[in-house]
Chains A and B, each alone.
Chain A
Amino acid sequence: MPASQVIERICLEKRHIMKKTLIKMGALFLAGGVALAAQAATPEEDRTAFTNHYKFRFPDVPMEEYPNGAYAIDKIGRENWEAIEEFPPYEPFIDEGQEMWETPFANGKTYKDCFSDGPGIKSQYPRWDKKQGMVITMALAINQCREANGEKALKYKKGPIVPLMSYMAFESRGQITNVVIPEDDPRAMAAYESGKKFYFTRRGQLNFSCATCHVQNTGLKVRTEVLSPSLGHTTHWPVYRSKWGTAGTLHRRFTGCNRNIRAKPMKAQGEQYRNLEYFLTYLSNGLTLNGPGARK
Chain B
Amino acid sequence: MRTKRLLSVLLLAVTFVAGTGVTLAADAKAENPKAVKAQMEIDKADKARKKAASVESEWTTTGKLIKKAQAALKKGDYDTATRLAKQAGEQGEIAYEQGASQKELRMPSYLKY
Contacts and interface: CB of A to CB of B under 8 A. Distances in A.
Q: Do chains A and B touch in the complex (CB under 8 A)?
A: yes
Interface string B95-113: 1001100100111101111
Given A262-B61, A264-B58, A272-B56, A202 B111 contact: no
A200 B105 contact: yes
Which secondary structure dominates where chain A touches chain B?
helix
Contacts of B58: 263-264
A211 B108 contact: yes
A204 B105 contact: no
B18 to A, nearest CB: 45
- Chain B: interface secondary structure? loop
A69 to B, nearest CB: 20
A37 B99 CA distance: 24
A199 to B, nearest CB: 9
B63 interface: yes
B108 A216 contact: yes
B52 to A, nearest CB: 9
A59 to B, nearest CB: 16
A21 B59 CA distance: 46
B72 interface: no
Interface in A243-296: 259, 262-264, 266, 272
A203 B57 CA distance: 6
A222 to B, nearest CB: 17
Given A38-B113, A203-B56, A266-B56, 10 more contacts: A41-B113, A49-B111, A50-B111, A193-B105, A204-B59, A211-B108, A216-B110, A216-B111, A264-B53, A264-B63
Which 10 residue pairs are nearest across A and B when measured between Cβ atoms? A264-B58, A205-B59, A197-B105, A216-B110, A38-B107, A262-B60, A49-B113, A201-B102, A262-B59, A264-B60
